[in-house]
Structure 1
Amino acid sequence: MSICCVDKKAHHNEELKKKLKNRLNRIEGQVRGINKMVEEDVYCDDILTQISSIRSALSGTANLLLEAHMKSCIIDQLSGGETEIIDELLITIKKMMK
């Protein structure tokens, strides 16, 4: 997926970048849509449904990135003997679970 993170900078391959950018662009469009819904006084329940959809899309995007991170940076750092990466990963996962 990616080349290991060097100095806290990831080097994602083009396929992953494309997937992430597509997802984020779609989410950005959904947020713009909600903004328009608010301006047009759309029924609250309909707006909340769209917000729920965005939260789900963000979660999926985060999971995609986490998977790539685990398959590249985490494995590379563990194989290099850098076990402190596990603590960093656990902190990240806890943040994602909130």
Structure 2
Amino acid sequence: ERILVATDAGREGELIFRYIYSYLECRTPFERLWISSLTDRAIREGLQHLRPGNEYDNLYLSAKARSEADWIVGINASLALAVAAGRGVWSLGRVQT
């Protein structure tokens, strides 16, 4: 038995899958479908070239590091800016909304 991972091809898709996999404390081996098109042909070709999940460990780790860094910088820098700048609404960090 195995899991076929078909989240978005990229580090964010990998991160989403790994967070769920970890949360569920899953130990089932998984393979990765890596496609950038949703045409029948692309999907069929992708299914013929599945890769072991551990080949994407570095992609996951880079996404996790980026996510944690965004959180740490956002929390600390936002507090520092609020203290330094005083009253008002301030937005700081890599992600601006």
Same fold, TM exceeding 0.5? no
The normalised TM-score by structure 1 is 0.35
The normalised TM-score by structure 2 is 0.35
State the structure with more CA Rg.
2
Decide which structure has greater helix share.
Answer: 1
Q: Using CA pairs under 8 Å that are at least 6 residues apart, name the structure with larger relative contact order, 1 or 2.
A: 1
